[in-house]
Amino acid sequence: MRRVGLLALVLASIAGCTVSYPTVDQLGEPLIRPENARVLRPAPAGGSAVVYVEVVNRGGADDALVGVLSDVAGRAELRDRSGRLGKVPIPPASTVALASDGRHIELYDLKQPLRTGDVIIVTLLFEKSGAIGAITAVQ
């Protein structure tokens, strides 16, 4: 009987010694993921193409999209209807759409034609998260 009581006491004390690891939200870091990246129309070599993408931040801190690169283009820019953008803020726990109604990515001087069904990589450059590739479908 004494052993059972001692065993119960040891198990109870061990149960109180759990380890907890902080989540990304608790650490206050951004957790960026591009989703649904697409080019809505085919484009000829030498021409330009518009890329739309949703940027999801599941983290607990803000970030900012500050640039864009692509091997298929001579030049790539963040733009809106009024012109070139310096950065696009990405608040914590949010989704920011670069869509047809405003902000978007423009690829200039295409090195190859973009045809329906093609898949390209567009590299998004973030202030805190660095470079993240977006798999982009030509529709």
Q: Domain with 57 in it: what CATH number? A: 2.60.40.1890
pLDDT band for 29, please (50, 70, 90 cuts): confident
CB 94 within 8 A of CB 58: no
For 12, the 3-state DSSP assignment is helix
Structure tokens belonging to residue 134: 């977006």
How many structural domains comprise the chain?
Answer: 1
Give the closest residue to 105 by CA, choosing from 130, 77, 83: 77
Give the closest residue to 61 by CA, choosing from 134, 137, 129: 129
Question: Which of the pair, 60 or 29, is modelled with greater confidence?
Answer: 60
CB 51 within 8 A of CB 38: yes
CA 100 from chain centre, in angstroms, equals: 18
Tens of pLDDT, residues 114-138: 999 999 999 999 999 999 999 999 9
Domain containing 35: what range?
A: 2-138
